[in-house]
Amino acid sequence: MTKILLTGANGFIARELSVKLTDKKFKLVLAVRQRSSFFSKSALQVEVGDLTSDTDWSEPLDSVSVVIHTAARVHVMNDSALDPLTEFRRVNLEGTVNLAKQAAEAGVKRFIFLSSIKVNGEATKVGTPFTADDVPAPRDAYGISKAETEQALLDLSAATDMEVVIVRPVLVYGPNVKANFLDMMHWLSKGIPLPFGAINNKRSLIALDNLVDLIITCVDHPAAANQIFLASDGEDISTTELLQKISLSLKQKPRLIPVSSKVLCMVAGLIGKRGLARRLIGSLQVDITKTKNVLNWHPPLNLDDALKKTVQSFLQQQKK
């Protein structure tokens, strides 16, 4: 039986991963900051503290053959750190490389690293998606730290017997999603008029179920070794269309005011929300042809059904 170490186990993605890995009868070790009653009793929880360059991984790595590494210092808007790049490197680069080196020394066969589409860049032109073979072009501290970590892992793989698999997801949504996606559902559920009725961008998203399925595919697929994969639903959508679909799932009439993108950008700049505006107005598309062909993988959940599942979870939470 394959024994897997899952880091960042209390996170949005890893929690669902833990459920699906348990369902598939993998032997699971969960690296957590604090033990939780959420997880199956069959999974071993190990408290490891912060992800740093001197974290001791000897106990959780015992007899492990695959590491799925989701723990990270995540990207946040308006980062308050005095030197964000140093902080991101300390956790995402140095902490990850420390784990990976100990994993290779412990005889781990495969290290799956959850990276970010920010390694490719921040935006695309409509119809010109990012690909897995593009030269990395990160623009912010988070993306730079992820790109540097990817290269360090590939270098380590070349020098050891441990295989590395890198997965770069776009924006992940699904039950219990937080941040901007949750805010959008709150706004729409209250019938608040939003000035996003005329946005003709294209954005790739990925449902939590689809990302989890892809990561599990990478656990033992022989063709995944030392590859980089982009992850999305394989369907692109405009912000206006997304808000309309969410509204329909909420059984609300969408109240979207057609305001031009130029005006929205100008207003956002005046109120210090340029970054948020870029995400709502700009395009970011990815091409997952390589992911599909190399792994013979297809997203099991289509975008409409995934959005309905996300909204149903949101409505259930609202009743509590």
- Chain centroid, CA 46 distance in Å: 23
Q: For residue 24, give the 3-state DSSP assignment.
A: coil
Strands (E), 36-118: 44-47, 66-69, 110-114
Tens of pLDDT along the chain (320 residues) come to: 799 999 999 999 999 999 999 999 999 999 998 888 888 888 889 988 889 999 999 999 999 999 999 999 986 655 556 788 999 999 999 999 999 999 999 999 999 999 999 999 999 999 999 999 999 999 999 999 999 999 999 999 999 999 999 999 999 999 999 988 999 999 999 999 999 999 999 999 999 999 999 999 999 999 999 999 999 999 999 999 999 999 999 999 989 999 988 888 887 777 777 777 777 889 999 999 999 999 999 999 999 999 999 999 999 998 87
DSSP annotation of 136: P
The CA angle 244-76-276, to the nearest 5 degrees, is: 40
The catalytic residues are 142
Cα dihedral sign, 93-96-99-105? negative
Q: Which amino acid is at 156?
A: L
> 28 and 18 in contact (C-beta within 8 Å)?
yes
Q: What is the 3-state secondary structure (H, E, C) of 212-261?
A: HHHHHHHHHCHHHCCEEEEECCCCEECHHHHHHHHHHHCCCCCCECCCCH
Which domains are seen in the chain, by residue range?
3-173+206-234 (3.40.50.720)
- The CA–CA distances, whole Å, from 200 to 196, 269, 271 equal 10, 20, 23
Q: Which residues of 128-150 are buried (b: 16+ CB within 10 A; e: fewer)?
A: ebbebebebebebbbbbbbbbbb
Q: What are phi and psi of 164, to 5 degrees?
A: -120, 135
pTM: 0.95
